[in-house]
A and B are shown apart, each in its own frame.
Chain A
Amino acid sequence: MDCRHCGLPSPVGAVFCCPGCEAVSSAIGALGLGDYYRLRTAPAPAPPARGEELSGFDDPAFQASFVRAIGEGVSEAQLLIEGMRCAACGWLVEHALARTPGVESATVTFGSRKVRIRWSAASTRLSAILEAIRAVGYVAWPYEPGRVALVEERERRSALRRLWIAGLGMMQVMMYAVPAYLADAGEMTPDIEQLMRWSGLVLTVPVVAYSAAPFLRGAWRDLRLARLGMDVPVALGIAVAFVASAYATAAGSGAVYFDSITMFVFLLLGGRYLELLARSRAGRALQHLARLEPRTAQRLLDAQGHATEAVPAARLAPGDRVLVRSGETLPADGELEGPEALVSQAWLSGESRPLARCPGDPLLGGSINAGRALVLRVTRAGTETSLAAIQRMMERAIEERAPWVAAAQRASGAFVAGVIAAAFLAGILWWPVDPDRALWIAVSVLVVTCPCALALATPAALTVATGALAQRNFVVARAGAIERLATATDFVFDKTGTLTEGEPRLVAVTPLGRDDEPRCRALAAALARPSSHPLDRAIARAAPDAAIAGARDHASVPGDGVEAWVGDRRLRMGRAGFVAALHQHPVPTLEADDSVTTVWLGDPTGWIAALRLGDALRSDAHAAVAVLRARGIALHLLTGDADSIAQRVARSLGIAHVEAQASPARKLAYVRELQSRGARVAMVGDGINDAPGMGQADVSIAMGGGADLAQVRADAVLLSNSLADLAAAAQIARRTRAVIRQNLAWALAYNAIVIPLAFAGAVTPLLAGVAMSASSLLVVANALRLRR
C-alpha cells in the first residue's frame, strides 16, 4: 500500500511509509486541514528531518537582511517554501500559518513558491513560524531576492498597473466615441457632442501621461542623446494625435481620435507585458539556482563532539566545520572531512544519481547529501562559492547588451529616421489634396511602422535562447557568446578533461591466472578500497559494491603497491616488481600502450591479472563530435600530451587536425593562425590551463563540472561536462540565429507592405495600432519557439 501522505510504498499493513509522514499527516489533521488530501493533485514531498535547530533564524543580525518592521511590533518577511508541488500545498501552508498564534497574515504565491508573512514580534518568533511550516511537511527559507529578481518584480508590477489603466481608459473612451460614429448628422446636439469629447479627453490624459509614460520618457531620452530609438515614432504618434485632438476639443471643431490613442497605448503595453512574461520565464533558471542555497548551516562547535549551532550560511568562514544531515543541502563549498559520502550534484550536471565521495574530496555547495550525515570543512562560503559564481555569470550575461542587439538598435535608428521623414512627407503631400485627413495619414504612417519588430527581433530571441541553453546546463556568461557560437567554423578541443574524463579509469582487465575477469576486478577492488590514491579509487569504483570481496590486514608500501589478505589468499597489487617478489614468476608481456598505466595483481602462486588504467574518452564524445562534424565544422585537438596518445584519441574520434605537446603559448598561436585564415574559432577547455588560447578564441567554453568555477574565465560554461550538451548548445545557437533572421525578414516585409498602404491613406490610426502590435507579438512568439 502506498503511503497516505507522500505516496511512496509503505510497509505491509501500514498507512504511512515512515514516522515522519505519520507525524506530518496527524499535524495536518490536528489543524483541521485534512481537506488538503482531497484537493491536492500531486503527492506530498517527503517530510523534512525533524528537530533541526532553528533558533539561528531569530538572530537579529541575520534577520536584518530580510525582515522588515512594518509598524507597531509587526514584522514582515518573505519565505521560500521548498517542496510545494500543487496549489493545494500553498493552501495548506497558508492555513497552517493562519492558525499559528502570533501570525497576522500569510499569503502564499504558488507560482514563485513564496509566502509573505506578517507576525507580531511580541507574541511569536520567526523560528516558531518556520517550525509551523515544517510541521506540515515543508521547509521554508528566508527569501532574499537577487538583483535581477528584484528589478523584474518592480518592472512587472508597474507594467501591470499601466496596462490596467490603459485598458480601462480604452474601454471607457470607446463608449464616448461610438455614439459619434453611429449618430447621423444633427442627431446629437452640439452640447452633448462636446460633452462626450471632453469626457474622452479627461480619460485620455491619464492614459497618455501615465500608461504611455515609458514611451514618452524613452523618446525624450533618445532625443536628448541625439539618437533615434524605437520609442521616438511611437511617442511622436501619440503626442501629435493627442495634441491635435485636444486642440480640436478645445476649439469645438475638427476630428478627435482619443479612442485610437488609448487603444494604441493599450495594445503596445499588452505586447510589452507578454514579452516581459516570456522573458521572466526564460529567467527562471536563474531563480532556480538561487533557491538551491540553504540559508542556515549547522556549525560544529568543537573538534570531537557533535554539538552544533545554527548559523546563517552566508556567515560561514573557510575552516569552519559543518554538519550536513542526510537529505540536506550543502551550505558552502568545501572538503569532505568524513565519513565516505554520497552526494547528488544535480544542480550542476543534471545527473541526479549520487556520486561517491571520499574524505578529502572537494564538495560543492548546493549539492544534496544523499547518504549518511557528513562533516564538511568549508573552503569557500557566501559569495565565493561556485554556485554564487554561476549566478553572477548569468546575471551579467542578462544585463550585458549583446553585439547583435547593439547592431539591430543602430539599424533601427536609421529606420526610425526614415519613418519620421516618410510621415512628414505624407502629411505635406496630402495637405493640398485633403487638409482634414493629412494629419491623420501622417500619424498612421508613424504608428503602423513597426520598428519594435526590428528592435525586438534580436533581444527576444537571445533571451529565450539563454534560458533554453541554461536548461541544458550550458550557462552563457558573456552576452555575445550565443551569436559567436552560432557562427563558429572551427572547434578546438583540449584533450584531458574535455574529450576525456580527466581522471584515470579502469579501461581493461587481463586475467592471467585461474580467476575470471569479474573475480579479478572484485579482488583488485578489495585491495584498493581503503586507499585514496587516484589509481586505487578508479579500481575500487570499477567493481559493483556488492561484488567486492572482504579484505583484511591491508599493508601499503608507498611507491610500490598494497598487500592484503582475502580469505586465505595473500594478495599483492602494484608495480610488477613488487608483485613478482611474492612468486618469482617472470612478468608477462602485454601489448605496448603508453597511454595507460598498468597495475599488476598476484598471489604467491603466480600472476592473477593485469589492470590497465587510462584517461578514457567521455562516453558521449563520439556522438557529439559526429554531430558537430555533420554540420560542417572543422575539428581540432590541441593537447600538452604525448603525440601517440593525441593521435590515438584523434583517430578514434575522427578529428583531422591534431597538435600534441602544445604549450599554452603554442595553443594561443594556433588559434591566431586559424583566425588569420578567416576561421571563427570556438575553444573548449577546462578554462584555467587553456586561458591564453581561450581568451584569443572567438568564443570560449569551459567544462565547468569539478573545476574551480570562481576562477573560470570563459564566454560560457558547460556545467554538466557532457559533450552531448555541448552539441545541443551549438544546435540551439544556430537555431537562434535562424529565428533572428526570420524575425528580421518578417519585420522588413511587414514594413514594406504597410508603409505604402498607410501612405495611400488606406489605414486608419486605429487599424495601424492593431497591425503594429500584432507584428510585435508575432516576433516574440517566434522567439519563444526556441524554448522547445
Chain B
Amino acid sequence: MDILYLLVPLSVVLAFIIGAAFWIAVEGGQFEDLDSPAIAVVADDDRPVGRPPPEAGS
C-alpha cells in the first residue's frame, strides 16, 4: 500500500490542475453561451470552402 503515499498527494496536485483548467475556461468565456455549441456539433463544416452547399430540404 506504499503506493498510496504517492497517489494521494498526486490526486491533490491533479485537483489543483483541474481547478486551474476550469478557471481558464471561465475566463475564456466558455460558459457564456451554452446554446450554440449544440448546433456547432451537428453542423461541422469540414467541407472545403467553395464547394456548393446542398440544396435546402434535401
> A residues touching B (Cβ–Cβ < 8 Å)?
4, 28-29, 31-39, 87-88, 90-91, 94-95, 99, 107-112, 116, 157, 160-161, 164-165, 168-169, 172, 175-176, 191-192, 195-196, 199, 202-203, 206
Residues of B near A34 (CB, < 8 A) are: 53-56
Q: What 0/1 pattern do residues 22 to 54 of B give for CB contact below 8 A with A? A: 110011010111111011101101010111111
The 8 residue pairs across chains A and B that have the minimum distance between CB atoms: A34-B53, A109-B33, A37-B56, A110-B35, A164-B22, A87-B35, A87-B39, A35-B43
Give which listed residue, B8, B51, B54, contacts A199 with CB less than 8 A. B8
B51 to chain A, nearest CB (A): 6
| B31: nearest chain-A partner, CB-CB | A160
A70 to chain B, nearest CB (A): 14
| B25: nearest chain-A partner, CB-CB | A164
Contact assessment for B19 and A206 in the assembled complex, using a CB-CB cutoff below 8 Å: yes
Contact assessment for B22 and A91 in the assembled complex, using a CB-CB cutoff below 8 Å: no
Give which listed residue, A35, A94, A168, A169, contacts B36 with CB less than 8 A. A94
Interface residue SS majority, chain A = helix
Residues of A near B22 (CB, < 8 A) are: 161, 164-165, 168
Q: Given A90-B39, A203-B15, A35 and B33 touching (CB < 8 A)?
A: no
* Interface size in chain B (residues, C-beta < 8 A): 37
Residues of B near A176 (CB, < 8 A) are: 8
A54 to chain B, nearest CB (A): 25
Contact assessment for A199 and B12 in the assembled complex, using a CB-CB cutoff below 8 Å: yes
Q: Given A33-B45, A39-B42, A116-B29, A108 and B19 touching (CB < 8 A)?
A: no
Contact assessment for B53 and A203 in the assembled complex, using a CB-CB cutoff below 8 Å: no
Residues of A near B33 (CB, < 8 A) are: 90, 107-111
Contact assessment for B50 and A32 in the assembled complex, using a CB-CB cutoff below 8 Å: yes
Contact assessment for A175 and B36 in the assembled complex, using a CB-CB cutoff below 8 Å: no
Residues of B near A107 (CB, < 8 A) are: 29, 32-33
Give which listed residue, B27, B34, B47, B55, contacts A32 with CB less than 8 A. B47
Give which listed residue, A39, A160, A195, contacts B4 with CB less than 8 A. A195
Contact assessment for A90 and B4 in the assembled complex, using a CB-CB cutoff below 8 Å: no
Give Cα A32–Cα B52 distance, bound, in whole angstroms: 6
User: Which has the most chain B C-beta neighbours within 10 Å: A4, A35, A39, A94?
Assistant: A35
Q: Given A35-B43, A157-B26, A192-B1, A108 and B12 touching (CB < 8 A)?
A: no
Further 18 A-B residue pairs, CB within 8 A, beyond A107-B29, A172-B12: A28-B53, A32-B47, A32-B50, A33-B53, A35-B43, A39-B42, A87-B36, A88-B39, A91-B40, A108-B33, A109-B29, A112-B32, A157-B27, A172-B15, A191-B5, A195-B8, A199-B8, A203-B12
A309 to chain B, nearest CB (A): 36
Give Cα A195–Cα B11 distance, bound, in whole angstroms: 12
Residues of B near A112 (CB, < 8 A) are: 32
Give Cα A110–Cα B29 distance, bound, in whole angstroms: 13
Give which listed residue, A32, A157, A169, A206, contacts B51 with CB less than 8 A. A32
Residues of B near A191 (CB, < 8 A) are: 5
Residues of B near A160 (CB, < 8 A) are: 26, 31
Residues of A near B51 (CB, < 8 A) are: 32
B20 to chain A, nearest CB (A): 10
| B30: nearest chain-A partner, CB-CB | A107
Contact assessment for A29 and B53 in the assembled complex, using a CB-CB cutoff below 8 Å: yes
Give which listed residue, A31, A91, A172, A202, contacts B43 with CB less than 8 A. A91
Contact assessment for A172 and B11 in the assembled complex, using a CB-CB cutoff below 8 Å: yes
Give which listed residue, A33, A111, A165, A175, contacts B35 with CB less than 8 A. A111
Residues of B near A87 (CB, < 8 A) are: 35-36, 38-39
Residues of A near B18 (CB, < 8 A) are: 168
User: Which has the most chain A C-beta neighbours within 10 Å: B1, B22, B57?
Assistant: B22
B39 to chain A, nearest CB (A): 4
A356 to chain B, nearest CB (A): 40
Residues of A near B8 (CB, < 8 A) are: 176, 195-196, 199
Contact assessment for A110 and B42 in the assembled complex, using a CB-CB cutoff below 8 Å: no
Give Cα A111–Cα B43 distance, bound, in whole angstroms: 19
